[in-house]
Amino acid sequence: MFKPAKDDEIVTTLVAALTRAFNDGSPVVGESLELRREMAVTALRRIRSFHRRGVAINDRPRCIRDLAKGLANYWEPEPNSVGPLIRDYQFVASELLDAYRAIGGS
């Protein structure tokens, strides 16, 4: 069931995590708030579909890899050619997962 207020709160929290990652120098987080919001929505959708891909929410390393892959697939024109940039996506994925869990996401 869709819960607009809760989803807005989660997206706002994820945007804040992306802003911190951007301020820490992440090259994969966009400058504009619109792009960060889109990335946050993309991340939330991916997190909520972990179970469909057989990713247990309590398997942090696998969640990070899966979320990073999903973000790279969405944002990169040639996701199979991301190379070392995947480490930056993994950093961002880790920050997003921490933020999601901090507000009670499971």
- pLDDT tens by residue, 23-55: 999 999 989 999 999 999 999 999 999 999 999
Give 80's pLDDT tier (boundaries 50, 70, 90): confident
Q: How many CB atoms lie within 10 A of CB 4?
A: 7
H helices then E strands: how many in the chain?
4, 0
Beta-strand runs (E) in the chain: none
DSSP letter for 24, please: T
* Six token digits for residue 39: 């990335």
Q: Decide if 85 contacts 27 (C-beta within 8 A).
A: yes
In terms of residue numbers, what domain contains 8?
4-102
Q: What's the pTM?
A: 0.89
Q: What is the pLDDT of residues 49-77, one digit of tens each?
A: 999 999 998 999 999 999 999 999 999 88
d(CA 64, CA 70): 10
Residue 106 has pLDDT above 80, yes or no: no
* Number of domains within the chain: 1
